[in-house]
Structure 1
Amino acid sequence: MICQKTSLFKWKPDLEGAIEEYSKAATCFRTCKAYDLAKNAYIKTAELQAITNSKYYAGKNYEQVALLCKETKHFEQAAELMEKSASMFVEHGTPDSARLVLEKGGKMVEKELPLKAVHLYKKASAIADNEDRPNNAAENIGKCARILINERKLDQAMECLKKEIAFHERSQSYPMIGKSVTGIILVYLHNDDFAAAYAFYEKSFK
């Protein structure tokens, strides 16, 4: 693109101009349903925005590419781009936006790529924890636990349920603790570990 070129009388590329042109191209390609071209244009826009320190807008454009990937059923790439979007929001200093895009990404790929969804939800939970939002942290780690139970990864599910309990304790959401405790007991029972199930019950409800 001519905006990115330099010459004898133009020492610096016009990155802002290039961003504007790539953005226009992305919109046109998307309208025409030329999705691969639209994705490339959005990615170019985001890369240039990251260079010019417009990290928030870079994050929004990576999110747009991810949505296009969802439309074309490229779920692995969609998840990676939602994670990239979140990292831009974190660098910009808007962790809530990062958490929300990770949650959206997890929901986007949960059916097709459940373990990738777990990865995204865990990152969302960690961000919520860092921002002292235990309810959000609990909600996301709880989603991980339920997916892992469905995937028969019970040891990992139990770890998530224990973290969920800790978050609920921090926020004093005592009714929710009971649900997580019940989940752990059921996992123990599924593993035929009746002694551990009873011990955990005694510890939790005494």
Structure 2
Amino acid sequence: MDAKLAEGMKHIQAAEKCMKTSFIKWKADPDGAASEYTKAAIAFKNAKALDKAKSAYEEAAEHQLQCRQLFHAAKSFEQAAFVAKDMQDLLQTSKLVERACNMFLENGTPDTAALALLRAAKMVEGELPDRAVSMYLRAGQIYENEGNFRRAADAVRSAPRLLIRHKKHDEAVTALQREINYNGEAEAFDLTHRLVVCMVVLHLYRGDCVAADKAFKNGYSYPGFGESDEAAITEQLLESMNTGDESQASQILNNPLFKYLDNDFAKLARDLRESPPDGIFMNNGGSGTTPSEEQGAGASSEDEYADGLC
């Protein structure tokens, strides 16, 4: 037997002994057992006995919970998650990190909880994109609860882009709106303006001109949007679709504003230019009013915009 493996087994035996009672030892010692399980996990890991190492870390965590050592228990679950990753068991990685997150939150260390989720989401996003998105969004929610909207925005940033890569465009709308809201709360208005453009592109790619029009109008709620290049160029794009001018829309989508969006949105804009969805262009010229004119008119009726701009 490998020396490190034998060392690990000795620590397991010591941990089990800590939990035994007798006539002269009336109480179990979960704290001592947790320490021995941790030592065993390290020895097993060094011996490349990863399954044993993961189990030992989980045992350490369970015994630390018995001692109400929430932070240490969370760290042990996190270590078990790292071992699961080395075992290529990413589902277990995500589950163990989520359990660690719960412990961190109960311990009153939300920043550590959010960081654990973000690290794990990055680990699993290639194989388990849905779980990764869930973890990105939960990290954002944790920062939101703490009133840290800038970090909340950074936390959720990967979620809509990951959903777009996996063709889940409806879910991407919801995640992107979270990112927009957080940046707005953080008063990162220049970034918010660009994200409004991303939202318009995403809706147009989905073939939903009404939603694109509404997203554009919502941009006016952020200071400086009405005077921005983003507003002017996006308005021209919506006008061209309202008038059925595919040539003009293609030229506008070739503008650097769209070409230099974040990569996933730039690809949507390119695809929109090369293969626009059916029915996205109106051929009757619409009402002849521009989005900014409608905005300035202050009309509030939903029915008035029932046909959108496209």
Bigger Rg, structure 1 or 2: 2
The alignment partner of 2:126 has SS state of: coil
The aligned residue for residue 185 of structure 2 is: 170
What is residue 99 of structure 1 aligned with on the other side?
114
Q: 1:196 aligns with which of 174, 196, 211?
A: 211
| Residues 172-194 of structure 1: per-residue CA shift (max 9 Å, x gap) | 00011022212211111112223
> What amino acid maps onto 2:38 in structure 1?
S
Q: What residue number does 1:141 align with? A: 156
State the percentage of identical aligned residues: 36
Pick which of 70-79 and 133-142 moved more: 133-142
Aligned pairs for 1:68-79 (under 5 A) are 68-79=83-94
Query: Structure 1 residues 123 and 196 mapped into 2: Cα distance closer, same or farther (>3 Å)?
Result: closer
TM-score where L is the length of structure 1: 0.95
1:24 aligned residue: 39
Distance (whole Å) between structure 2 residues aligned to residue 107 and residue 86 of structure 1: 15
Match of 1:156 among 153, 166, 171: 171
Q: Does 1:56 align with 2:33?
A: no
**Structure 2 CA distance for aligned equivalents of residues 182 and 195 of structure 1:** 15
Question: Which of 60, 66, 82 is the matching residue for 2:81?
Answer: 66
**SS at 2:207's partner residue?**
coil
Deviation of 1:149 after TM superposition, in Å, equals 1.2
Q: Give the equivalent residue in structure 1 for 2:198.
A: 183
Q: 1:202 to 1:16 in 2, by over 3 A?
A: closer
Check 1:19–1:199 CA distance in 2 against 1; reply closer, same or farther (3 A cut): closer
Offset of 1:69 from its aligned partner?
Answer: 0.9
Aligned CA RMSD, in angstroms, stands at 1.3
CA change 1:91–1:202 in 2 (3 A) is: closer
Of 108, 112, 116, the residue aligned with 2:123 is 108
Name the SS of the counterpart of 1:63 in structure 2. Answer: helix
**Secondary structure at the counterpart of residue 124 of structure 1:** helix
- Inter-partner Cα distance in structure 2 for 1:195 and 1:85: 43
Amino acid at match of 2:136: Y
Compared with structure 1, are the counterparts of its residues 203 and 38 closer, same or farther at alpha carbon in structure 2 (3 Å cutoff)?
closer
After TM superposition, the structure 1 = structure 2 runs for residues 9-20 of structure 1, keeping only pairs within 5 Å, are 9-20=24-35
Name the CA distance, whole Å, in 1 between partners of 2:75 and 2:218. Answer: 46
CA distance in 2, matches of 1:16, 1:60: 15
Paired letter, 2:79: Q
Number of paired residues?
206
> Among 144, 147, 160, which residue is 1:129 paired with?
144
TM-score (norm 2): 0.64
Q: Displacement, 1:82?
A: 0.8
CA shift, 1:8, in A, is 2.3
Of the candidates 14, 18, 21, which is equivalent to residue 6 of structure 1? Answer: 21
SS in 2 for 1:152: coil
Shift of 1:161: 1.3
Moved more, 8-17 or 36-45: 8-17
Secondary structure of 1:53's aligned partner: coil
Task: Give the Cα separation in 2 of the matches to 1:31 and 1:160.
Answer: 41
How many Å separate the matches in 1 of 2:194 and 2:109? 32
